[in-house]
Chains A and B, each alone.
Chain A
Amino acid sequence: MEIKELRGIKGIVAAIALLIIFFGVFSSFLQLEGNVARGISEEYNKLAYRMAPNNLASWVYDYRSIDTLLETGVIYVGAVVSVLVLGRGLVRLKIPEEDDIVKVSGMDLKTETMPVLLKYFALPVVILLIAYGLLVVLEAPTSGGGGFQCGVIVSSAYLLSVIIYGKKSPFNIRKKTLVAFGAFGWGLYVLMGLPGYLATGYWQYNVGADLWSWVSTFPGAVPDFLHAVFGDPFMLALQLKEGISYATSGILPIINIGESFNVIGAICLIFFAFIYGWSESEEDASE
C-alpha cells in the first residue's frame, strides 16, 4: 500500500480508527495510573532470590521459561522466514507451475572504498564487542542482560566486520555455520527442559536450584547427581541483610548460552542473506 492510497475515504477511516485507538489506550493508561494490581509479582519476587540474584533472570528464564522458549522460537523463525524469502529453501512442486520464483539479489557492498582508518580501528572494536557479549551472557543470572543481549551485541560485531571488510572479514562465518548456531541455540534451550521432565515430570523444572522438592505434594525427586551437575557449577554466595546465603541459578546460565547462540545465528544469518543474497548452488556445494 502506498501513501497516496490513504488519501480520500481510506485516509479518513484510518485516521478515525487511529484516533479511537489512541483515545482508548491513553484513557486506559490514565485510569490505571496508581491502580495497577501487583498480583502474582509479589509471590515471584518473594522467591526469586533463591534462584538468581537477578530477579529478571528468574522471571524470564525460570517462571516464564516457556514464554521465553517460544520467544526464542520467534527469533529463530524470523531468520528462517527472512532467509527463505531471499532464496533459502524455496520449494517447487514436481509438476509444471505457472509462475516463476522471484529472484532477490544481495546488496551492492563495496568495501574497497572504506577509509583505511576505519579498517584499522574496526578490528579491535569487533574484538571488544565480542568480549563484551561474552561478559554479558556469562553474568546473566547476576546482572542485567543475558542471552538475547549477548546475541545482539555479537551480531552487531559481525555486521560491523562485514560492512568494513566484506567477505575478507576476520569474523567471517559461513552461512551453514550460522544455521547450525541457531539450531544449536534453540535446541539447547529446549533440551534443558529434559532433565527436569525426566526427574519430576515438569518440563524445564530447574533441577540445579531444586526449589520445591520439600513440598509434600511435589510428585518427583531430583537425584543428587542432577542437582550437583546443574547446580554446583553455578553456586553463588549472596550477602543479604540476614547474613550470607547460598543460591544457585541452576540451568539458567546454560539456557542463556543457548539463547545467545540462537540470536547470533538468527540475526547474523539475516544480515548475511540481505548483504550477499542467497545462492542455492552455493548452499548445495557446501553440503
Chain B
Amino acid sequence: MNEQITNLWSVPLLIMIPILTAIMVNLLYNKTRAIRVLSTGAALAVLAVAVVSPYGFHWFAGHPAVNSDGVYTFTASIFSLKLSLEYYYGPLQQILIAVMSLLLLFVVVIANKSFDKNYGPYIAIVFLTYVSAAAVLMTNDFYNLWIAVELGSLLVAGLVASSGTGYAQKAALKYTFFSALAGSGLAISLGLILGITGYANITDAINFLMTNDLGGMYAVLYVAFAFLTLAWIYAGGLIPVHPLKSDVYRSAFPHATVLLQTQSKLMLVAIGIVLLRMFGALPFAREVMLSISVLTMIVGIVMALIQTDFRWTLAYIIVSHSGLVTVGLSLGTYQGIVGGLFQAVNDIVYMSILLLCCEMLLYFGKGTSIKFNGGIAKKSPWLAAFVILGAFAASGIPPFNGFQSELIIIQAALAQSLPEVAAVVLMVSVSTFIALFRAIYSIFLKPGEDYPVGQAESKRFEIPATVFVFLLVLLAISFVLGVYPQLALGFLTESALKVVFVPWVP
C-alpha cells in the first residue's frame, strides 16, 4: 500500500457521508421508511469504505507542503511544512474506525427498530457522534482536534438528552457545563502550543520542538501539557470527572451507550497518543498520565462493585476499563502502547455485548435493577448465554479477547518494574468478574417470579432477532481475537513503534 499519497479518497468519505446523512435524516424527521433506508445504507457505506481503504494522508483543501527553500510539494515523504489541514488513515485508524463503523451499523438498525416516530434528529446525532470520533482519530492537527472534541461533547449531551427524562436531561446539562471548561482548556493548550511553535500541524509542531531550543519556555510547554491532559481526562471520563461520564453512560439508551463508550475510547487513544508524541519526552509527563489512569481503574471498579442496577454497574466498568486502556498507553513503551491500543479494541467489543444485553433486559418490562429481577435465563436462555460470555470477555477470562490485552498490559508493567500497576490490573479483572456476576446472578440466574403469559405480556418479551445476530457477531470477534490476537495486533504495532521511535510521524 502507498502511504505517501496526500489525497487518499477514503478520508473525506468517512467524514462527509455521515455528515450528509445526518443533515438528511434530521430534515426527514418522521419519514420513517426514508430514514431507515438512508441511515442503514450510509452506515453500510462507511463500513465498506473503512474496510477497503488503503493507507495514506489527505491534505484537505489541497494546499501543498513547503520546504525550507520555498519549494512546494505534494509528496508526503519529503520533509516540509504543511499548508493544508492533514488527516492520516493508517492501520490503527483502520481497525478502530472499522469496529466503530460496525457498531454504528448495529446502533442504527436497533434505533430503527426501537423507535417509531420523530427519530430523525436522534439518528442524526448518532451519525455525527461517529464523525467526531473518526475526526479525532484521523486528524494530525491541534486546532482540528479541539473542534472535533468540542463537537463530540455536544453530541454526547444530545444523545443522552434524547430520551427526554429528567435524569437524562440533568446528566446532559451537567456534562455540557463541564465540557465548556474542558473545551476552554484544550483551546488554551492549543493557543500555547501555537505560541511556542507557530504550527497547528502536530508533526510540524513536534519537529519544531525537536530542532529548537525552547530556553525558558519549558514552563509554558508544561502548562500546555496540563490543559491537554485535562481535555483527555474529560473526553475519556477519567478521574476526577468519572461521575459525569458514568452518569452519561447510564442515562442514555444502552444501544446509544455502545456508541458513546466507543467514542470515549477512540478519544482516549487519539488524545493519549498526541500527548505521548508531543510531551512524552517531558520529565513526569507519563507519570502524571499513569497516576490518573491507575486511579481511574481503582475508583471505577470500586464504584461498579457497590451498584444495584446493571446499567450503573456497566457504566462504572466502562470508566474503570478506560483506565485500563490509558494505563497501557501511559507506560509509554512499545509493549505498553500495543497493550493499551489492543485493550481499547477489545473493550469496545465486549462492552458492546454487555450493553446490548442490558438493552434487551428492558424488553422484559422489569427494568435493570438487580433488586427487582430474576429468572431471565429461563425466559431467554440465549440472552443469558450472551451476557455470561460477554462477562467472561470483560473479566479477562480465556479464550476471549480481554485476556490477551490485559496480559500484554501486565507484562508491559512488569517490564517497566511496576509490579504494583500489574497488581491493580489483575485486581480490576477479578473485581470486574465479581461486579458483573453479582448483577448477572440476580437478574438472569436467580429464580424469579413467574410472568403473566397473557397475549399483551408475551409480546413484551419479543426481543428483536437481529440483536441476537449482532451479539453473535460481536461474540465471534471477541473469541477470534482471544484465540488469534495477531489479527488485531498486526494493525496496532506500527502505530506503537511510531509513537516510541519516530513521534513526529502520525
Q: What residues make up the interface of A, taking CB atoms closer than 8 Å to B?
A: 24-25, 27-28, 31-32, 35-41, 43-44, 47, 62-67, 70-71, 73-74, 76-78, 80-81, 83-85, 87-102, 179-180, 183, 186-187, 190-191, 193, 196-197, 200-206, 211-212, 215, 217-220, 280, 283-284, 287
Contacts and interface: CB of A to CB of B under 8 A. Distances in A.
Interface in B101-124: 111, 114-116, 118-122, 124
A226 to B, nearest CB: 13
Given A90-B162, A215-B73, A217-B75, A39 B61 contact: no
Nearest to B170: A102
6 contacts: A77-B158, A84-B161, A93-B253, A205-B61, A211-B63, A217-B64
B26 A80 contact: yes
A225 B143 CA distance: 34
Interface residues of B, number: 93
B74 A98 contact: no
B62 A89 contact: no
B220 A31 contact: yes
B12 interface: yes
B60 A202 contact: yes
Interface stretch (B192-200, B277-285, B399-407, B478-486): B192-200
Contact of A96 (B19, B128, B157, B365): B365
Contact of A77 (B16, B31, B128): B128
Interface in B343-370: 362-363, 365, 367
Given A31-B217, A205-B61, A80 B460 contact: no
A28 B163 contact: no
A87 B169 CA distance: 12
A66 B83 contact: no
A70 B158 contact: no
A77 B148 CA distance: 12
A187 B219 CA distance: 43
B20 interface: yes
Contacts of B158: 77, 80-81, 84
B216 to A, nearest CB: 7
B74 A40 contact: no
A84 B164 CA distance: 8
B120 to A, nearest CB: 6
B434 interface: no
Contact of A74 (B135, B151, B460): B151
Given A43-B83, A203-B11, A211-B63, 17 more contacts: A32-B195, A37-B195, A40-B204, A65-B85, A67-B147, A73-B131, A87-B164, A89-B120, A91-B115, A101-B164, A102-B165, A102-B166, A102-B169, A179-B29, A201-B9, A202-B6, A219-B7
B314 to A, nearest CB: 17
B61 A70 contact: no
Contact of B201 (A40, A44, A179, A200): A40
B36 to A, nearest CB: 14
Contact of A94 (B16, B116, B155): B116
B151 A64 contact: no
A282 to B, nearest CB: 12
A99 B111 CA distance: 19
Given A65-B60, A67-B144, A100-B165, A215 B72 contact: yes
Interface string B456-468: 0000100000000
A130 B85 CA distance: 34
A204 B128 contact: no
Contact of B63 (A36, A212, A220): A212
A40 B26 contact: no
A27 B221 CA distance: 12
Interface string B164-202: 111101001000000000000000100010111111110
B154 interface: yes
Contacts of A215: 64, 72-74
Contact of B144 (A38, A39, A70, A87): A70
A177 B409 CA distance: 54
A84 B167 contact: no
Nearest to A31: B220
Contacts of B169: 85, 102
Interface in B329-350: none
Nearest to A71: B147
